[in-house]
Amino acid sequence: MQTNTTPPYTSHTSLVAVGDSFTEGMSDLLPDGTYRGWADLLAGRMAARTPGFRYANLAVRGKLIRQIVEEQVPVAAAMGADVITLVGGLNDTLRPKCDMGRVKGLLTEAVEQLAPSCKQLVLMRSPGRQGPVLERFRPRMEELFACVDDLAARHGALVVDLYGAPSLGDPRLWDVDRLHLTAEGHRRVAEAVWQTLGHDPEDTEWHTPIPATLPPGWVMRRVADVRFARQHLLPWIGRRLTGRSSGDGLPPKRPELLPYEGPAV
């Protein structure tokens, strides 16, 4: 059963974010070429209300749950932060061959290490884009989210249900790669986590679908499909076949738990 009970507001002094590209902030691109994303936005809000607030973001794009457990979880646990967010395993479910038993076992290992090391662990049911590309993987995703709910209930973690939010299924809130949220999508995720932590809402309608617009015509859709296949799908398939990852060689986004003065919007 899903667990998503919002606690009374508590002033938190630190945040550590653990995960993959979703937590790194792709595709919320800033002018300098770096990514912002929901975790930065959340940290900015928390820092605006808590002097000396500290933030670390250990996320690296492309990481599988095994890599998250080995490379990020021990570091995060040692930081002693008030809040830790953990989102991982979805990259595994999108691979042609995926051992869901192993994925769930590794996720369990991560939660068992992180939950005792912080005041509040936050887990998520990741958003699911509408459309045929992800349909074949949806049963795996839902199996993963059932595990998230069970772990949260057993370890006192909060669950942010992004998968059940109609707004985040809208293709207009996803980048052209069809795998990462736009800036508006990340803003809505930050709001969802903010409220789940017990803060007063700044946007009570974050989960509400955006107003309907006329869909693009057939020609525009085909052009978009060809561009997507050439720029994103084929390189993604190539990395899967060769065992490479988009995050190979990249360092964590923000590896140390330091005072944060980032975006507060």
Helices 38-49 and 183-196: crossing angle in degrees, nearest 10, is 50
CATH number belonging to the domain at 14-213+252-259, selected among 3.40.720.10, 3.40.50.2300, 3.30.590.20, 3.40.50.1110 = 3.40.50.1110
Assess contact for 140 and 99: CB atoms under 8 A: no
What span, in angstroms and rounded, lies between the C-alpha atoms of 91 and 94? Answer: 5
What span, in angstroms and rounded, lies between the C-alpha atoms of 24 and 194? Answer: 17
pLDDT exceeds cutoff 60 at 73: yes
Local confidence band at 232 (pLDDT 50, 70, 90 cut-offs): very low
Main-chain dihedrals φ then ψ at residue 35, nearest 5 degrees: -105, 145
Local confidence band at 29 (pLDDT 50, 70, 90 cut-offs): confident
Local confidence band at 5 (pLDDT 50, 70, 90 cut-offs): low
**Residue of 110, 42, 66, 70 whose CA lies nearest to 56:** 42
State pLDDT tens for residues 142-151. 999 999 999 9
- Quick one: pLDDT at residue 265? 47
Is residue 125 within a helix (H) or strand (E), and if so which, with residue range?
strand 120-125
Q: What percent of the chain has pLDDT over 70?
A: 78
State pLDDT tens for residues 97-121. 899 999 999 999 999 999 999 999 9
Ranges 56-60, 84-88, 240-244: which has the least confidence: 240-244
State pLDDT tens for residues 122-178. 999 999 776 555 678 889 999 999 999 999 999 999 999 999 999 998 888 988 776
Main-chain dihedrals φ then ψ at residue 217, nearest 5 degrees: -70, 175
One-letter identity of residue 213: T
Ranges 30-34, 164-168, 199-203, 223-227: which has the least confidence: 223-227
DSSP class of residue 201 equals P
37-58: b (≥16 Cβ within 10 Å) or e: bbbbbbbbbbbeebeebbbbbb
What span, in angstroms and rounded, lies between the C-alpha atoms of 104 and 89? Answer: 8
What span, in angstroms and rounded, lies between the C-alpha atoms of 257 and 107? Answer: 23
